[in-house]
Amino acid sequence: MAATAPPLPCTQPPRAPPLLKSSPRASLRCAAAISSLSQSQTNGDGTRYSTNKRRPHMPLAAAAAVAACPSPVGLGRPLCRVYAHPRRRRGFRLEASSSASAPAPAAADAGAGAGPCPVVRFDMDDFAIADRVSVGLHGRSDEMIFEATVRDPSSELYGSTVVLRQLKSSQAKRRGRRALEVLKKLARRQMMYHSYALHVHGYIAPGNAVEQEDVPFVLVHGYHGSYSLRHWLQLSDWLPTLEATLALDEEQVRRVGDDSVGGPAVTRQLRLIRILMRDLLIGVNYLHSHGLAHTELRLENVHVSPIDKHVKVGILGNAADFHDNDPSSSTVASNNERRKMMIAFDMRCVGFIMAKMVLRELMDSSTFFKFKSFLTKGNDPSCLREFLLPILCQNSPSGNIGLQMLDRQWGAGWNLLALLLATKPEKRINCLDALRHPFLCGPKWRINPSTSIIRWGLGSTAVRMAEDYIYGNHQRRRLAYFVQLMEVLNPNLRTENWLQLLHGRWRLLYCTGRHIGLTLRQPSPRILISDVFLTVSSESADPVFSLRSDIGFRIMPESNWPHDKSGTEGVLSVTTSARITAGRIYINEQDSKESRAASSRSSRRYLRGKWRTASKMKELPASLPSVNIAMDEVDVSMSCNSTLNVNSAQKVLQEIRMQTPPEMFDLSKIVCGTYIDARLMVLRGVNGSALLFIRSNPMTDS
């Protein structure tokens, strides 16, 4: 049986365990207990103490002296609480606590320090420094990275490998202190923290490390393999290596709604990307549910642990609070706006990570620069497929596997990528909705897609069928019906929506009218039609547009034209101006009774299928809202790279008119528009045929 819905991460933290009671005389609140206990290595009788070791009992007088020491790491709030038990000779128990009141979003973490404090102050003598560092450990220019092994037998980390991150500048030290503060804030759910973040064990710093800028501060955190996710993806055999690291079995793949392992390369990569993306989203959602934004999500900061098989999102040194701590500028409206903007920033970073994982071509810096420039210029990310298609089909090292993955499930991958990289921050998807998206849910999970997902699937299916260029009668019927369904689900019915979306350059994908080719007719000259574009521009807010149709063609040699497609290129341009007004189109108004009956049967057949949730109707309506397009006079011009005489030019023009839809040769035959969004547009001709356009975004800089 298929599960009804994918499991989602729990966003409410569990109740923290209560503090153990101790004697009022012995309870001492200490802001610098960790550093002071480690700094005071010996007392009067020579006994050595350390916070990460279980040592003999410390006298209360010494504990009182420790309580007066300042915090060496410069934390604004105390990290721990020291309890001395005069009747138990067992040493100290360290617990996280907070004496300052937390901001509003952290109210759920008011008892964040109820669990044992995970922050430990170490000495350099506790580690055996390795003579090399793994290539996957990413550091900044003001950091030095060391691999080390804990050699203190009394430590819980004895024998384990850790990373020593030496922070030299004041900004780097601030990141280290922030990592400790975030650890304290997330201590209430330490299991989730350990699963989805690099575990910060503690630090190494003398007592005046903050005051002295030349004294470094060393952060001690977990080691999760020699590679970051970026280095994993750069391996030639990354797919089987990552599968072996994650130890994929049937139990593992059930986490993404699948029940099998192996299969074709596309299926294996899609399954692995689902696992990594769902784990990444759960970790980011864990931070967002605790009022934190990561702000530094990229492939270099993401690691895959071979121990617990989870994705780690870094040490959180730059994690930011959703709410501003300044009381003078902190209002409900400003805090909500800050929260939305920070979540949107993280989701955009997740979108870049997903794009690089799926499309290996984006690992190249020059290709990723083009990809990012496309988004920076304000282009809609729903048009990414049209923009990336020439790049992915040209010398693709992955054999277009990424394109196949994103095209699966009616283009669900492109839809998720567009939602993660939406131009407007308020339009970006959040973590929980992304976890419910069909692209990240396996075949065994039943998903109830929204109308926008269904609309996207209809358009993507029509685009794929038009690209196949195999127009049998059954395909033509399906394409025509999909266009009708898109018109029924048009999200932009008002004229104002058309005025906002109509501007730009559109490429003709398909026409439901007649199609005339070269094979049977063998005309002279042989003309090959390349791309047909419709450019819409306007200089004012008035609903008057300038339309230009550009028909690219090539005059091929008559002797060997089936095998030799080279020849003289040219462009036929048709310009006019148009005005749009609100209107309505009536479907099958003049059809015969038999035609309407056949259309009704076709409607019932398709609406009972996978598109049955597209609308709450049993058959297509008789009329649809549209915008009427009134054309002015038409101007036709043609340019060619070679010189043509009048007779040859007339023959070329006649052949272009024969192969081109009449609405594109004579723009006055376009009477109305029935569908438009940021990606696709449908216009209707005077004879009832529909023209399907896709928005075109040139790769060259404008």
* Token representation of residue 491: 């999200």
Task: Give the pLDDT score at 513.
Answer: 86
Do 638 and 542 sit in the same domain of this protein? yes
Instruction: Indicate the pairing of strand 127-129 with strand 120-121.
Output: unpaired
Question: Which one-letter amino acid corresponds to residue 454?
Answer: I
Q: Is the pLDDT score of 522 beyond 80?
A: no
Render 177-222 in DSSP notation, one character per residue: HHHHHHHHHTGGGHHHHHHHS--EEEEE--TTTTT-TTS-EEEEEE
CA distance 171 to 116: 29
Q: Which whole number is the average pLDDT over 440-444?
A: 87
Q: Is the pLDDT score of 692 beyond 90?
A: yes
Residue 436 falls inside a structural domain: yes
Do 347 and 417 sit in the same domain of this protein? yes
Residue 473 falls inside a structural domain: no
Task: Give the pLDDT score at 282.
Answer: 93
CB-based contact 481:670 (threshold 8 Å): no
209-223, 270-284, 687-701 — which is least confidently predicted?
209-223
Please tell me which residue, 526 or 61, carries the higher pLDDT value. 526
CB-based contact 664:355 (threshold 8 Å): no
Residue 475 falls inside a structural domain: no
Q: Is the pLDDT score of 112 beyond 70?
A: no
Task: Give the pLDDT score at 612.
Answer: 53
Please tell me which residue, 441 or 523, carries the higher pLDDT value. 441
3-state per-residue secondary structure call for 130-143:
CCCCCCCCCCCCCE
Do 193 and 333 sit in the same domain of this protein? no
**Average pLDDT along the chain:** 76
Domain that holds residue 530: 490-587+622-695
CA distance 78 to 75: 7
- Among residues 427, 418, 276, 435, the alpha carbon closest in space to that of 344 is found at 427
Alpha helices in 495-636 (DSSP H): 495-501, 593-607
Residue written as token pair 């048709």? 574
CA distance 96 to 81: 6
Q: Which whole number is the average pLDDT over 106-118?
A: 38
Which of the four pLDDT bands, split at 50, 70 and 90, describes residue 618? low
70-74, 191-195, 248-252, 588-592 — which is least confidently predicted?
70-74
Do 58 and 143 sit in the same domain of this protein? yes
Question: Which one-letter amino acid corresponds to residue 428?
Answer: R
Residue 158 falls inside a structural domain: yes
| End position of a domain, from candidates 165, 193, 222 | 222
Residue 599 falls inside a structural domain: no
CA distance 105 to 344: 17
Burial (CB < 10 A; 0-12, 13-18, 19+), residue 42, is exposed
**DSSP character for 412?**
H
Do 415 and 495 sit in the same domain of this protein? no
Q: How many CB atoms lie within 10 A of CB 417?
A: 23
Task: Give the pLDDT score at 21.
Answer: 38
Q: Is the pLDDT score of 124 beyond 60?
A: yes
Do 198 and 236 sit in the same domain of this protein? no
Residue 9 falls inside a structural domain: no
CA distance 308 to 322: 29
Residue 462 falls inside a structural domain: no
Q: Which whole number is the average pLDDT over 390-419?
A: 84
Phi, psi of 97 (to 5 degrees): -150, 170
Q: Is 656 helix (H, G, I), strand (E, B) or coil?
A: helix
Q: Is the pLDDT score of 260 beyond 60?
A: yes
334-338, 586-590, 645-649 — which is least confidently predicted?
586-590
| End position of a domain, from candidates 395, 424, 448 | 448
Do 147 and 188 sit in the same domain of this protein? yes
Phi, psi of 285 (to 5 degrees): -65, -35
Tell me the sheet residues that pair with 202: 120, 220
Render 41-93 in DSSP notation, one character per residue: -B-TT--B--TTS--SPPPHHHHHHHHTSPPTT--SS--EEEE--TT--S--E
Question: Which one-letter amino acid corresponds to residue 178?
Answer: R
- Among residues 110, 138, 349, the alpha carbon closest in space to that of 225 is found at 138
Do 214 and 99 sit in the same domain of this protein? yes
Do 682 and 628 sit in the same domain of this protein? yes
Give Cα 607 to chain centroid, integer Å: 32
Tell me the sheet residues that pair with 252: none
Name the strands in the sheet holding 217-222, side by side, starting at the edge strand that comes first in the sequence: 120-121, 200-204, 217-222, 161-167, 143-150, 127-129
Q: Is 332 helix (H, G, I), strand (E, B) or coil?
A: helix
CATH number at residue 185: 3.30.200.20
CA distance 82 to 127: 25
Do 528 and 426 sit in the same domain of this protein? no
Do 193 and 251 sit in the same domain of this protein? no
CA gyration radius, the chain: 33
CATH number at residue 382: 1.10.510.10
CA distance 434 to 286: 14
Residue 15 falls inside a structural domain: no
Query: pTM of the predicted model, to two decimals?
Result: 0.78
Residue written as token pair 């026409």? 511
Segment 547-576, tens digit of pLDDT: 999 999 988 877 777 777 788 899 999 999
Q: Is the pLDDT score of 342 beyond 60?
A: yes
Task: Give residues with Cβ within 8 angstroms of 280, minimum separation 6.
Answer: 302, 311, 313, 350, 353
* Token representation of residue 561: 């034209």
Distances (CA, A) of 568 to 217, 564, 583, 660: 69, 12, 43, 18
Phi, psi of 336 (to 5 degrees): -65, -40
* Token representation of residue 224: 């999760």
Most confident of 252-261, 351-360, 593-602: 351-360
Burial (CB < 10 A; 0-12, 13-18, 19+), residue 193, is buried
- Among residues 281, 277, 271, the alpha carbon closest in space to that of 408 is found at 271
Q: Which whole number is the average pLDDT over 208-218?
A: 64
Phi, psi of 696 (to 5 degrees): -105, 135
Domain count, the chain: 3
Which of the four pLDDT bands, split at 50, 70 and 90, describes residue 609? low
Do 207 and 234 sit in the same domain of this protein? no
Tell me the sheet residues that pair with 116: 95
CB-based contact 423:381 (threshold 8 Å): yes
CA distance 34 to 122: 9
Task: Give the pLDDT score at 317.
Answer: 86
CA distance 96 to 94: 7
